[in-house]
Amino acid sequence: MKFIPKGGPLQRGQTNYRSLLIFANCQSFDLTANRNNIRQDNEEYDLAIKAIKDFCANTIWGDADVQSYFAAKKQADEVKDREEAAKRDEQRRAQVAQQRQQRLNIYNGRAALVSTGIVNAPVKEPQNEAETALLLQAMISSKHPGIDFRVGDYSATQGVDLIVEQIDKGIPTIRWGELVWKLEKLFQWSHPAEGIHIVVCYELGKVGEHQKFTDGQEARLVHSGKPGRYALMVNGEAIDVYVLRDILTKS
């Protein structure tokens, strides 16, 4: 028989530690045929169980020594819980501090960005798409002559990253653009190159003159003659490529 003290059954997530074990014997119990269990489908069993529960609840649980024991145990458990919570909190704080120190160590080891004439440029060379976007916007805000467009819309979750506004032969034009950290990332994506007018990257990465997209389309990278400017030829169409690192250092 399981005796549950006052306070009700355990809630989800609680652990049942046995603090009080009661043995009860009743001659009215009938054993099953294998004599290993008690039959529970008769009135004698129900009456015996009720009497035992009443005795536990009224006599044992009401005893002053029992109450004192559980009160002391509750207090000790609360102290232990607080100590364990404080220990977990200290471990969490130490883990956060360690992660921040590791991140800071990596940051301090990164190469500084060469950004002469660029206001509010990132301190370090970009290592992802978001940092490349920050550098691009800083170059646009600083009116760097190597960037001849403005960003109208940016989203990393709606297919093509950029809607840009550009003056083409004196005519205001809206174009679609992709933003990548390294140009080589462009050839690792599954979406096609159709409909892309420009690509902005920080550096070329491991890209040769001839390159294939994941769908098998071939592209040829041609230098335009301007610092950091290339044309990516795909199916007879030219996609303008802006390599920010080269634009900054070779202009």
Lowest mean pLDDT segment, chosen from 103-107, 122-126, 211-215, 217-221: 211-215
Give the number of other CB atoms < 10 A from CB of residue 230.
23
Lowest mean pLDDT segment, chosen from 40-49, 100-109, 112-121, 231-240: 40-49
Report the SS3 class of residue 199.
strand
Residue 232 CB contacts under 8 Å (≥ 6 apart), including other chains: 193, 199, 219, 220, 221, 222, 238, 239, 240, 241
Let me know: does 115 contact 138? Beta carbons within 8 Å: yes
- Residue scoring higher pLDDT (212 or 29): 212
Let me know: does 176 contact 158? Beta carbons within 8 Å: no
In the block, residue with structure tokens 């301090």: 108
Max mean pLDDT range (5-9, 37-41, 86-90): 86-90
Mean pLDDT to the nearest integer, 153-171: 88
- Residue 159: the pLDDT is 78
Residue 238 CB contacts under 8 Å (≥ 6 apart), including other chains: 231, 232
Q: Is residue 191 over pLDDT 80?
A: no
Do β-strands 162-168 and 171-182 pair in parallel, antiparallel, or remain unpaired?
antiparallel
Lowest mean pLDDT segment, chosen from 8-12, 44-48, 111-115, 116-120: 8-12
- Residue 17: the pLDDT is 58
Across the chain, mean pLDDT equals 86
- Residue 107: the pLDDT is 94
- Residue 57: the pLDDT is 83
Mean pLDDT to the nearest integer, 72-83: 91
- Residue scoring higher pLDDT (17 or 42): 42
Longest Cα separation, the chain: 106
Query: What are the tens digits of pLDDT across the range 87-144?
Result: 999 999 999 999 999 999 999 999 999 988 899 999 999 999 999 999 999 999 999 9
Let me know: does 154 contact 140? Beta carbons within 8 Å: no
Q: Is residue 7 over pLDDT 50?
A: no
Let me know: does 53 contact 46? Beta carbons within 8 Å: no
In the block, residue with structure tokens 């977990």: 88
**DSSP category for residue 47:** H
Selection from 69, 54, 89 nearest residue 19 by Cα: 69
Q: Is residue 238 over pLDDT 80?
A: yes
Tokens of 250: 């070779």
Q: Is residue 18 over pLDDT 80?
A: no
The amino acid present at 232, given as its one-letter code, is L
* % pLDDT > 90, the chain: 53
User: 61: pLDDT confidence band, cut at 50, 70 and 90?
Assistant: confident
**DSSP category for residue 27:** T
Whole-structure pTM value: 0.69
Q: What residue segments make up the domains of the chain, in order of their start?
A: 1-62, 129-250
